[in-house]
Structures are given as structure tokens and as C-alpha cells.
Structure 1
Amino acid sequence: MEHRIIFSLYILTLCSIPILSTSASNTTMYPATTRPSNSSYLSPPNTTGYYFASSSNAYNLSCDAAKSAFPSFTLAVDTSGSMYYFIYEVQDVISTLISRLQAYTTDATRKYTLIPFNDPSVGPLYATCSPSQFLNYVYSLYTSDGGDCPEYAMTGLLDALKVTPFGSLVVLVTDGSAKDSNNTDTVNQIFSLIESLKVKVFIFARYPCGSESDYDFQIYKDIADRSYGLLFHNYYLTPYKVSDLLNFFLKIPVNSTTRLFSENYSAYYNTSVSFYVPSNLTTLIISQSGSYPSLTLYNPLGARADFTTFLSEFWGSVGYLDYPRSGYWSFESNAYSSYSIRIEGYKENGALGDTFNRSDFCSRCSSNANCKKDVLDYTCVCKDGFSGDGYSCYDINECYYWPSPCGYYAYCINTYGSYNCVCSSGFISENNTCIDIDECSSPELNNCGQNAACENYNGSYYCYCPTGFFGDGYRCEVDECTKDVCGFGRECIKYYGYHTCSDPCFNYTTLNEPTRSTSYRDYYYYDYYYWYYGRSDYYLNGWYRFTGSGGSSLADFCPSQGSCYTRYPMWLQGAHPEPADGIVNGTVCTSYYDTCCQWTSSVKIKACPGGFNVYKFSYPPQYYSGYCTDPATVPDSCSCAADEECRKVGGRYSCYCKNDSGIAVLSDIRPVLSCGAQEMKASFQKCDLKKFNLNTKNIHLNDRYCIGFNDYNTTNIISVVSVLKNGVCGNEMVNNGTHVIFKNNIFLSLDTNSSLGGEDILSIRYSCVYPLDLELALETALKPFTDSAVVNVTGTGQLQVTMALYKDSSYTSPYEGSQVLLTAATNLFIGIILKVGDASQYAVQITNCYASPSINSTTRYDIIKNSCPSLQDSSIKVIQNGVSANGQFSIKLFGYVKDSDVVYLHCGVHICTTTCAPVCSGMRALSASDSVTTDATLYVGPIYKSAESSVITTPKGGAYSVVANLVMVLVFLCGTLLLTV
């Protein structure tokens, strides 16, 4: 392969170079409608409002849901990444609800509508009159996208309302606020549709993204209020109880209720309110939201009216009262949090006939359920301690849920239909409460030794030896080391029964890693990967001496962030002692980004005969921190260039420029450029810069934060590095179809003591040219269709493996954007890429690949099995497998999968430390076992058959992103140098 290096040199007084930036995202997009950042509303792409994943899913919607006696059901659900576990709760709710509705109103026709939303996407919208198909839609939901807290909840709700029938029950579920609440057009349309459709909206919104009083959360309360629905927030779903709530209202016929009272109140607000009840009402329905709400009802005569409680949970309640007297009623109420009250009147419609099979309904209830009266008739509700649809009830393991019903100081034991609480060790039960036992109150309650002190805390106690004593608290003896028995400059070490005296100058552990030097910095990892931590000295404990080329003394100045091969560099605050000082106490600072001394810890130091220091380290305040050495303290050696000489000044060895060194004129200054596999590096001779009074500490690239540094373990080379990534350090990237060119500018300024004040006077433009390959093609793509996973490799750490889809056999044109459309004749090229610095150490083995019509479908079409290609389709071609850091194969996907218009592609991979090409015979690898090791599984999709084959409304999005891209870009380089001045 060929790479080229291009220089351009300019003299200037002021420089302004534009920085080009292109972002690439691997996150999944699952909507039919994407909302721009200004939150402006976009109409759904299909004016009918019906969306289906494929033509085979298009159920006949000829059923006239608007004429149904019962409300239809609409669900708008947040599918952002933070909803991962909550989606399972939603699925449990809908599963139980559908089962109950089908058992109770088998001949009722409803329209079921589902729309997912997140950020920045909304949709696709699914609508059906089949309860089982609706349940399938709900179970196909998966989480993706997000990033910040608020989501496009209003847009999702509006899209759903546009196809929701009159009188429907609408449920919105989210764990955040509404990002698009400030879009007045969207909100006004929602309010208008709520009024015209007479829908009831229940909103389950777990937490506000800011304050509960912010409008982006208050909008939920306004919508619930206008629709006579409720807002439930700061809650934990109890799935079977939520299904009880929804089932209750879905059984109330459309147009059979009159809205009597609706109000929202703040926490603990005690109120007494009256409302009018007209004549001829069959039932009053009282629903509330809030934390443990309470309500006392009074009839027009002023007498307390006891109503039947159908549902009472810590997040809300529902009750009813039959045959209310007409006139002015009143109530008193309060709750532990902000709460809402809705009161409606129901008037029975005799035209409903025998829809509900009253005569034998209760006999169908489970033995662990109660047949409870509701507004119309009866319903089966599982007893406390059981869950289910009422016809089948199973025991709830109350001990599984958090927070535990037993509290912090007891453990829970599940029983059939209930649970028991047992106090933890160190506690005793009093009045059904676990009380801490004070073990220190009596010697019989603790095991502390003689001379020990005892300290009590919840559930246990702590024994320790007071000052002047040595031991673990269970055995304490006099500590002779507190009496200075060893004399000056020696350390006393105490053991049980005796003590010893030691001179740390002769008893230490040597640390000789050259990477401890403050001049060492792995720019590629530190500048590009936020998870890079490097060395941790957390476990160093005792006396240590530094040796080797990194330096012999702890640095006594603040190291730059990312140096010393550690996340948080540690250095000595203050001067080192002299030999006459003996053992002294010092302070070590831990650097944290721009703060040189974010944390401090103690250290003991002794200057030893022979000119070296020893240090007694203890655990540092941060785990990923390391002690840094001063490279200028390397004894009797300097790494100097030909134009320098080694001198010892102030106890430090350093390289100093010779008087006759360097170049003749400023225009001759140019760096040595290295186009590496992971970064571009430009290096200057320090003496050349100093000769023209240039600042060696302020060399920078287009991004002024990317500055020059002393090359590792040298003093005569100043380098500046930029990682091969568009936008990083101001890099500019050009893709000409065969090569990728990375460009940047180096700026040099006069020393700060100059009259010009250190402004840039020299600019050097440079470029590195790389041949395009399958991996670099992904890095330059705007939005590649990929999936990535992290693999733990013993002895190496975490590596990233990525699967991507390409258009041709050159593997330089990845599919981009939000969808992949293929015909039956299209050859799809799949690349598996291991991103690692030294590609020669590893090989990627594709173990198993298959296609499926949905993410979790049990139907699968094997493409590669046991590392060998399937013989079921002649278009399957394995190009590379187990021979390099890349795996490649191709297939005419829809020529192989003929009975589905949408496909997900799944591949398992194994990382080998040597080549591991499988030996295949027929369909099987010739190995001792049929099993293969799979380190990670990736999948991409959905992939669609082209629109000419079937009518598809495509959810936007690529692969389901497992993790963010974490590791290095790999390119192979060789070639020539082109220089222009």
C-alpha cells in the first residue's frame, strides 16, 4: 500500500484556519418520523396513519372501531435507552390486559394503536383490530437512542391521536419530560384532538428531567386534566395493578359517562370541595393519582358516603359508588405528593344486552382471585400476593423487587401468596421494627480484646486498638514504635510480640518502569479514548525506589494530564529532603484535568547515601492514579542530539543547545513527519526553535488544545500528535474514493518574552495520505450501518469488534443512512473488523451467522454454522475467516430468504491470538467438537426487500448499537514522501 506525506510552509502574522468536522453515529434509529432539533412538526409519511413492518403484517382494518360500544386502546411508549428495563414492565401490563379483555368482552371490537417515540425519532405507528397482533407489536419494542433526558413525547402522542377513534383510552409511558413541549402547534393540536375525540389520557411519567414545575413536565398534567385522565409519576409499575386500572376504564362503554369534577393539588394540600351530581346516574367513579391519596366523600345531606374501593396503590386509586343521590356532594382529600382527582358519573345503557355473560362470569376466576364488582358488573382480580389476569394467578415473589418490602435492616423470605421479614444479624425485632443491637454496651455482646475500644454502628460494631497500642482490635498490645525506640533515620516496624528497626535506604522495592516519566504520554489512547486509564498504583504500600530511564526521583512539579501512563498523575508538592533530614513527611498531589492538586495524600521520604530517594507510599485517593518521575533525574545520562551537550545543573541532568547548532534561516524550519497507523506525528529539533526565539511550549495544531510535548525520554525533540479522526485536533479529512487524506496545520509563536506577545508567526500545513480499506471506509462514512461489541481478551484488555454492510467486493463503500434496501438479486457484502493496534497478533473467526425475520425470532436461516458456510444457498461466499483481523463474506440475502420482506442479520465472532481458519467439509468444521467459542454476538437490521417487491414503511435507523466506538483506527502504511514549500 502507498501513503504520501505533503508539506506546505507559510510565514504569517495572524492565522485563522477553519476546522471541518463530520460526526458519525452508530446509534439505532427506530422511527418513521425524525424530528429536527428545532422541534418543528413533520406530518407522518403515510397520510392514512397506518404503518406495518411488512406487507405480511397488514391486518384487515375493515372493522369499524369507531362504532364499538367500548373504548379503543392507544399506547404511546418511550423507547429511549434508559427505558430498557421499563419496557418489560409495559409488556407485562399489556399482556395481562389483553388476556383480561379477551376473556370479558370476547365479542367487543376495539382498535389497538401503538407508537414508539424517543429522541430524535417517532414511530412507526402500528394499528390493528387484532388483540394478539397488537400484543406482538408491543413485544417487538426495543430501546435505542436518547442520550439526554427529555424525549419527543408530544410528537408521539399527536401522531397517535390522529388515528385514535372517538372515546378511546390513551396511555403514554415515559421516564422523562417532553422535549417538544414548547412546540405550540403540536400541543394545540393535541388539546384540540382531546376535546373533539373525548379521549381519556393516562400518563405514566417516571421522573422530570428538571423540576416537576417545569413546563416540559407540567404539560403531562395539563393533558391528563383536560382529558379526565391522570398523571402517575415517581412510581414503580406494579404490572398487574396497572392492568386492573386500564381494564376498569376499558370496560366502561363510550358516551356513557358525564364529567363532574377535575382538579390538581400540591402535596399535603387538604381541601374540601363541592360538586353537583345530576339525577338518573347509575354510578359515581372516583379516580385519583398521587402518593397514598385519601378521599372522604359526603352526600348532599352531609352524611359520609362510603364508596367501594376497586384499586388502592401508593401511586393512585379508583373507587365507585352506586346510585348516587342527585344534588351537591362534597369531599375532603390529601396525599403525600402532588395529586389529582377526577369524578365522573356513569349512566347504564340497556342496549348493551348480554355482552358480559353475567350468569357464569365469576365461576371462571382463579381460586387465588376475587370476583370484584366494578362499574358494569364483575371482574376477576388476583388476590394480594398473586399476579395474573384473574383467571390464572401465580405467586408474586415480593422479595425480588426493589426496594425490599422489609426495609434495609431485614431480609425477605417469600411464601405462597405473601412473604416474611426476618431481622438481619445485629438487629432485633421490636413492634414489627428491626432495632439495632448496641454490641458495645456490654462485653458479652462483642469480641473486642483487652485494651481495645469498641464502636457501634447499625447492624454490627468495630473493634480497634487506641493510640499507643498495636493490633486488630481483638488483640491489642503496647506499641513500642510510638516511643521512638529505633533512633534517627530508621523506621520501627511492629509485629505481635516484638518490633524491629529498619533503614529504608536498604529495605525497599524497586520501580523501574520508563513510562513513569512525565515526558511519556500515549497520545493516541489518551486523546481519543475517554475510558483510557493506564497504570494504577492503588496497591503500592511500603518503601519504594525509582530507577531506570524514566527518572530516579518523584516529580516535584505538576505533570500534564495523560502523562506518566496514568489517568491521574501524582507528584510531590514541595522539595525533596536532604540526607541530614532523616525520614520526613511529605504531601503528594493528584492531578485532575486542569487542577494540579485535586486530591492529596501523605508520603514518607528519605534521602539516602548515594544520591537517591526512597518513598513510603500508601493507598492513593483515586484508583486510576500513578506516581510520576522526573526524567531530568536520570543519573549520569542524557539523551542528547548532535546539536546538544549534556550538563548537570541544580542536581539535574539535561541537554543544552550548542552555540553553533541548528539551521541558518527561519524558513528552513520544518518537522519530521511520521504518518503512523493510528496518528500523524510532527517532530522538531528544540535547538532549531530556540535559535529563532520560538516558544517550545506553545506549538499547536488547528485545535489550540492539541499542543507540542517533549518526546518520551528525550529533551531535544518537541512533537505534536493528532489521532487519525476527522475533527480531532482540527484534522480535515478528504475521501477521494480510493484514498483518505488527513490534513492539519502546525502553528509556532515567538517566546512570551518577545515584544509581539507570543502571537503565531509560522504556519506549516501537512498531510498524510492513506489507501482506503474496509475499516477506514467506516471511519469516513457519515452514518454507517453497523453494530459493535466489546470483547475481553486475556492479557490485552478490551477490544472492539464491528460488523458493517458494504455495497461491493471492494469493501470501501459501506451502506449509510437510516435503511438498507436490497433486491433478491443484490449481493450483500458483510465485513467483520477487529480494531486493534497490532493486527498481526489476532484473527477474527466468524463462528455462526444467520438471518431472522425479527430480532428475537426463533426462525433462522443459517449462513455460517460452526465457522463454515451453509451449502443451502450457492450465493454464500466466505472470503476471509480466521486468517486476519478482518472477516468477510457475501450473500444474496433475499435470494436466500424468500418468505420475509424484512431481515435481521446476526453474527457470532471469536477472537483468536493466532490464525484460526476453520477446515470445512460439507457444512461442518473438521474439529473434535461441534461447539465453537463465541466471544461476542452482533446484529444489524432491519434490512428490507426493495420497495418494488412490497410496500414498506421503514423505521429509520441502522444497527442496534451495543456500545459506543471505543478503540483505534487501523491502517497499513508504506510509500514515498512528497514535499512542497
Structure 2
Amino acid sequence: MDCILHNGTPHCVDPCDDYTVLNDEWRSTSLSGNGVRCDRDINWQGWYRMFQGQTSARIPERCIGPNRCGTQAPLYLAEPHPTQSGVIVNRTVCNSWDGSCCKFPNHQIQVKRCSGGFYVYKLVAPSTCNLAYCSGMDCILHHGTPHCADPCDDYTVLNDEWRSTSLSGNGVRCDRDINWQGWYRMFQGQTSARIPERCIGPNRCGTQAPLYLAEPHPTQSGVIVSRTVCNSWDGNCCKFPNHQIQVKRCSGGFYVYKLVAPSTCNLAYCSGNALIKTSSHREKGGISGLGSRASVAMSLYRSPAFSDTYPPGLVTLPVDSALYVGVSVENRGPDFAVILEDCFASHSLSPQSPEKYPLIQNRCPVDPRQVEVIENGRSTRARFSALFFLPNGKHEDVYLHCNLTLCDMRKYSCFTVSLKFHFISIRICPSV
């Protein structure tokens, strides 16, 4: 038991059962920048448990470089966490600034390891600003020994060729009997890959019931999230019991996974081995209606900043990558607004093809988990992002088509874009 004054009243309880959650995203060790957060002025009371997203975290045990964790001089433990559960120990907290791993006066906090394997901390204010506690280390048992590291820097490569979504056959691989420990990064050959986010048909990926993510990957770097893994068998996209794994997006744009064994055989994790090869030149169409003719262009961008388009030619991206698409109208002033009415993918160059895979309908994303409308109807450009996929698993050319309106915001009258133009041609092929 530990007794503290809480709002002036003595409060006695086991801190492993009664703690305050500290889950500020900016405390993550993976985030850098000129943050000015300061923990000196916080009224610390009682015990705290660290989280990153839904995942338990802890204060790192290594010197963290300056200008990380949302502050200038990050706070870290200069001594290791206790390994015995139930014991409260004192630990020294240091800070990093100006080339020194303990530039400003250090201080002591209390730390307890709980029976669930997590830690709680009796935090106190540092001596000055700007100093703040870091969070984000991940710890696992590796051959019985606790091992703590950022999973973006310390992972096991999983590059089995048979895991490829492009391979079919009567495979009988099973991941149930593998002793999964720690974090894994997917590769196909030399190319970074990831677990697909769509139902993969049976008898693929070297197994009978392929495992895939039933929820999208996180889009924010540095945050660990939990995701549901499903399987495909007998016409059912989640035939056997599903399970949870942890996923983290790393600053390099790749993903790492804390994999666990499925409940039965034969089930195995799939790895997206196909690549998107997309022609990134700006495709142009025309806007018809009252007044002079305007031109419209659609471009593929490198990042969600929408500041840099891909150069002309083919660009190779992993399947399930985020496509950042911008549509702009030229030769029109700021009183006009572009509206994305409908966007869809098709295997046909013609937008009149009956086979369509809708992304945006009636100005809204069809599946908000896969498509985000970022800007629409506010200026002479519109923007959206989509996690791209192989429609029906077909390795064929794919085209994006969009139906637009151009609105004169002074008159509230709109002009419809002709549907006869295709904007982006995307060619999909397996990796080599």
C-alpha cells in the first residue's frame, strides 16, 4: 500500500490498482521537433501509468536526445526499472541538453513493477523548464529476458516468399506453432511490405486460411495501436476466431507488427507482395458549361502535405499504400470552388464501364477507413487520399475517374465536368 495526499485528503491504495493514465501523444520518443512542453508546473499527485495509444508504455532507460518528446530537454531514467513485481524502488531521473545527458539537476522518483508486467511511477516536477517525461519504450520477454527498445529500430525481418498474396495453391503453412517474440517487419524480397487490409481468398499466402487486418493501419507515426486479425475460409472472411495484434507506423513510412499465434491451423499471416506502378503525369480534362472553357488536372502527390508531386514516369509503391490525389482547376479565380462529386476505380479506361469500385459518392467517402476527403468545395483545388488495393485481386491496369462540379461561389451556380476524361492510370504488377 502507498499513501498520498490527494486534494488534501490521505489516500491509501496499491498504486498498481489506482493510478492516473498519462497518454499524451507528444511524450513519444519517436516524435521530434522544437517542443516547449514543461512538467515543472504540473501538480503531480499520486501514481501514473504511461500509455502510447492503447498500449502500455514506460519511461525510457536511455539518454534521449534533445528536442524530442514534445520538449527541449527530455527526462529519462538513468537507472533500470525493477525486475521484481510488487517492490517500490527509487530511481534517478536525468535530462538531455547541450550535449550532456544530465545537464540540469537530476531528481528521484519512485517506480513499481506490477504483476501485469507494467510499471507505475510516482512522478515529481523537474527543477526547471523546458523538461518533460518521455514515453514510448516497448518491452517484451525475449527468451525469458526483458528486452526494451523502440520497435521501429529493433524488429525481426519476416521475408518468407510463400507469404505473398500473389501466390496461390494448396499450402499448409501454419503460424500457430511459431514462438512469436517481439516485433516484426514484413518484406517481399528487398521491398518493404505489410499485412493486407482486405479479405484474402483461401489457399493463398502458403496456407489454407490467410490472415489479414480487418482494420486499417495507423496513419500517424509513432503511435502503437491494436488491430483485429481475421482469416478467410469456406466463403467466410472471419471463419475462425479472430485475434488482436499491435501495429506501429514508423517515421520511415513502414510498419512493424507485434504478432501473436492464431487459434488453429492452417492459418498464416499474409504479406502484400504486389506493387503499384503508377504513371504520375498530370492528366487533364475539360469543364463545360456556361462561360469560357476551363481546364482541370489530377495529380498524384508524395505525401499528405500535397506539396510535391511525383515526377513524370512510373512510380513503384506497395499495395495498400496511401495515394494522395489532388484535383485542380486552372484559369479560374478564387471565387470558384471545385467539388468532387464521385470518384471510383475501374479496370477500364472508359468511365462508362459498368464495373466500378467506388471511393467517393455524393461528395462523401464510401469507406472512411479507406478514403479521406481532405478538401472539397472550398477552393479551386480538391484533395483526397485512398488506401489503394487490387480490385477483386486482379493484377490489371486500374484507372481512377472523378466526376466534378465547378461552382461560382458568387452566384451559387455549378458546372459539371464531362465524364469522358480519365485522370490517372495505375498499373499494378507483382514484385520481383
User: TM-score normalised by the shorter chain: which range applies?
Assistant: 0.3 to 0.5
When normalised by structure 2's length, the TM-score is: 0.36
Between structures 1 and 2, the one with greater helix share: 1
Between structures 1 and 2, the one with greater strand share: 2
- From the CA coordinates, give the structure whose radius of gyration is larger: 1
When normalised by structure 1's length, the TM-score is: 0.19
